[in-house]
Amino acid sequence: MLKRPIVPYQRRILHKMASLSQTKELFRRAEAVCFDVDSTVIKEEGIDELAKFCGVGDAVTEMTRKAMGGSMTFKKALTERLSIIRCSREQVNKLITDHPPQLTPGVRELVDRLHERNIKVFLISGGFRCIVEHVATQLNIPLHHVYANRLKFYFNGEYAGFDESQPTAESGGKGKVISLLKEQYGFKTVVMIGDGATDLEACPPASAFIGFGGNVVRPQVKERSSWYVTSFGELLKELEKI
């Protein structure tokens, strides 16, 4: 019997399926899992919430959309957004107290399960360390497993910029952090999970990338992810196969 040749479209589907099974396997045997924070571990974008709190929400939300869509370098978008917000230390503290970040459903259970399996969990964020540390504490993630941007303030509490030396302040910064983790801990298999362009570009050096669309779907990330999930329950289910 003659076999029909596989047409290019079918080849793409087969390649996608192979990549999906490989990604799932890498996730099941990961030594470390790195999560993005804004719109992944938490429901909102921290910088947008800070902007709203400071009364400049609309201007900043549009710029976040461009940054996450990859149409502007991350550092440029961060610099421009912060120059609009110009938040004081007091405003940041009040935001965390009055409007604490909301965890995405299922993330606490997933992180607990990963910890039970002795898989190291890291938070790698282009957001702000003061907010991300609050999230890490809720999830029992050690603070030395947090990589995020640091806001700078003058002695009187006024905004003084951000620490531009942090790897997370740059496009490609999340990948730099993962390279550092592999070097520091000797990890062979590291999985990155996130919703945005900066998360996707962290693979490689991450062994695999899982796109997350539970809070917001970014089409170009969904398109380029071999495994794209819309709930953390899908990842928990996969871990049960071990």
The answer to whether residue 83 scores a pLDDT higher than 90 is: no
Topology annotation, domain 20-44+101-240:
Rossmann fold (3.40.50)
**Confidence class for position 80, pLDDT limits 50, 70, 90:** confident
Q: Look up the pTM and report it.
A: 0.82
pLDDT grade, residue 234 (50/70/90)? confident
Please report which confidence band the pLDDT of residue 64 belongs to, taking 50, 70 and 90 as the band edges. low
Q: Which residues are catalytic?
A: 36, 38
Which DSSP string corresponds to the chain? -PPPPPPHHHHHHHHHHHHHHHHHHHHHT-SEEEE-TBTTTBSS-HHHHHHHHTT-HHHHHHHHHHHHHTSS-HHHHHHHHHHHH---HHHHHHHHHHSPPPBPTTHHHHHHHHHHTT-EEEEEEEEEHHHHHHHHHHTT--GGGEEEE-EEE-TTS-EEEE-TTSGGGSTTHHHHHHHHHHHHH--S-EEEEESSHHHHTTTTTSSEEEEE-SS---HHHHHH-SSEESSHHHHHHHHTT-
Indicate the average pLDDT of the chain.
Answer: 82
What is the mean predicted confidence (pLDDT) over 101-130?
Answer: 90
pLDDT tens figures, 119-140: 899 999 888 888 898 899 999 9
- Quickly state the pLDDT bin for 50 (edges 50, 70, 90): confident
Domain ranges of the chain: 20-44+101-240
For 175-208, what is each residue's pLDDT tens digit? 889 988 898 888 888 899 998 888 888 888 888 8
